[in-house]
């Protein structure tokens, strides 16, 4: 069995991905919207390895269920350590990640601390909550604990339930910054030192600020004003025009193009194709698809087909900081 997590708004899309990649899987129980207990006749690790190599778009997090019990803080940690201890690799750091669902008085810390201590005592495995290689996942549903051990690489996210949190900074301009930060992390985007970045539809400038902090020279294109703090930065220039007007003007050449504009995903894809010739041969792009309530799969397929004229799809995910959208990472084709 496993626990599968997705944004409730995209439950149908996530379960369809599961059905396509593992036809024998069955939903045993819906623990809450966007959180399911899944029967896997073929086991967790075959599917996890498949999704590690080619991640789904809408399934945000998975973890195995190897043990199910009624939680008792005094008894459960040593029992779990005894049952699952032999599965730990003592050479690889681990962490315990707990989520609570439904009516339960137990807090994640009340589980993480005693369970981590019991595992360390029983196995000698080092604890590292920041960069674990092994994760012992616990999902508390009422008083019932669903528990399983897996490599962090097999969970689709290092964070419990895929809920990646970032600290709010004093200089932060918008919540959209979290979306770009998460995308850089998830897609492992290596920005070139002192690279040239183009931010389409930049106002008020959250993504521009993030790129500047990563030592990029940013051209921000938007007819609206940027945040006043950005005008004091010499490595940011504001082109006060639409993306189409900038295209007609004759853009410079860039290492990275980003686009978080609020427009139909297919129109946004066409715009990115128009800008592809202005990427260096090693260039990459990052964009969001704003998705409608109905016909989302068709919109995604159509937008991908448009992009395929000039780009290879390097990744597409419905990130924790996405709302009614997905984030798409692109590599420009050499002959674009």
Beta bridge partners of 259: 200, 287
Residue by residue, DSSP assigns 242-258 as -HHHHHHH----EEEEE
- Can you give the length of the chain in residues? 336
Q: What confidence tens digit (pLDDT) does each residue in 79-93 have?
A: 999 999 999 999 999
The third-level CATH classification (topology) of the domain covering 176-332 is: Rossmann fold (3.40.50)
Q: Do 176-332 and 2-162 fall under one CATH topology?
A: no
- Mean pLDDT to the nearest integer, 177-196: 97
107 a catalytic residue? no
Tally DSSP H helices, then E strands, for the chain: 9, 15
SS3 113: helix
Kindly compute the dihedral angle of the four CA atoms of residues 310, 315, 317, 321, in this order, to the nearest 10 degrees: -90
Kindly compute the dihedral angle of the four CA atoms of residues 236, 228, 286, 18, in this order, to the nearest 10 degrees: 160
Residue from 113, 213, 239, 290 carrying the catalytic annotation: 290
CA dihedral over 292, 293, 299, 303, signed as positive or negative: positive
Kindly compute the dihedral angle of the four CA atoms of residues 331, 258, 51, 152, in this order, to the nearest 10 degrees: 120
The domains of the chain are located at: 2-162, 176-332
User: How many Å apart are CA 103 and CA 116, to the nearest integer?
Assistant: 24
pTM across the whole model: 0.93
Q: For the chain, give the mean pLDDT.
A: 96
Q: What is the pLDDT of residue 74?
A: 84
Pairing mode, if any, of strands 236-239 and 217-221?
parallel
The yes-or-no verdict on residue 336 having pLDDT over 60 is: no
Choose the CATH number for 2-162 among 1.10.1200.10, 3.20.20.70, 3.30.2130.30, 3.40.50.620. Answer: 3.30.2130.30
Q: What confidence tens digit (pLDDT) does each residue in 224-279 have?
A: 999 999 999 999 999 999 999 999 999 999 999 999 999 999 999 999 999 999 99
């Amino acid at each position: 069995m496993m626990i599968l997590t997705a944004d409730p708004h995209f439950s149908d899309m996530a379960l369809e991905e599961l059905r396509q990649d593992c036809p024998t899987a069955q939903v045993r129980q819906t623990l809450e919207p966007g959180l399911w207990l899944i029967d896997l006749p073929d086991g967790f690790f075959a599917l996890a390895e498949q999704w590690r190599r080619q991640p789904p778009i809408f399934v945000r997090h998975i973890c195995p269920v190897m043990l199910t019990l009624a939680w008792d803080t005094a008894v459960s940690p040593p029992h779990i350590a005894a049952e699952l201890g032999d599965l730990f690799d003592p050479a690889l750091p681990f962490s315990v990640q707990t989520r609570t669902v439904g009516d339960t008085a137990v807090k994640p810390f009340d589980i993480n601390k005693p369970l981590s201590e019991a595992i360390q005592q029983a196995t000698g495995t080092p604890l590292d909550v920041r960069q674990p290689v092994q994760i012992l996942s616990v999902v508390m549903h009422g008083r019932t604990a669903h528990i399983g051990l897996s490599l962090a690489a097999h969970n689709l996210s290092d964070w419990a339930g895929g809920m990646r949190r970032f600290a709010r900074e004093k200089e932060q301009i918008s919540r959209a910054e979290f979306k770009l930060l998460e995308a850089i992390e998830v897609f492992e985007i290596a920005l070139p030192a002192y690279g040239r970045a183009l931010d389409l539809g930049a106002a008020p400038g959250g993504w521009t600020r993030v790129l500047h902090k990563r030592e990029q020279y940013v051209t921000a294109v938007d007819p609206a004003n940027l945040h006043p703090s950005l005008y004091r930065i010499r490595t940011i220039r504001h082109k006060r025009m639409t993306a189409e007007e900038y295209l007609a003007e004759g853009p410079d050449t860039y290492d990275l193009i980003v686009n978080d504009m609020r427009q139909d995903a297919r129109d946004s894809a066409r715009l990115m194709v128009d800008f592809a010739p202005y990427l260096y041969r090693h260039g990459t792009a990052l964009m969001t698809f704003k998705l409608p309530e109905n016909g989302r799969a068709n919109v995604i397929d159509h937008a991908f087909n448009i992009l395929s004229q000039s780009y290879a799809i390097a990744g597409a995910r419905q990130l924790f900081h996405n709302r009614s959208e997905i984030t798409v990472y692109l590599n420009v084709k050499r002959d674009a």
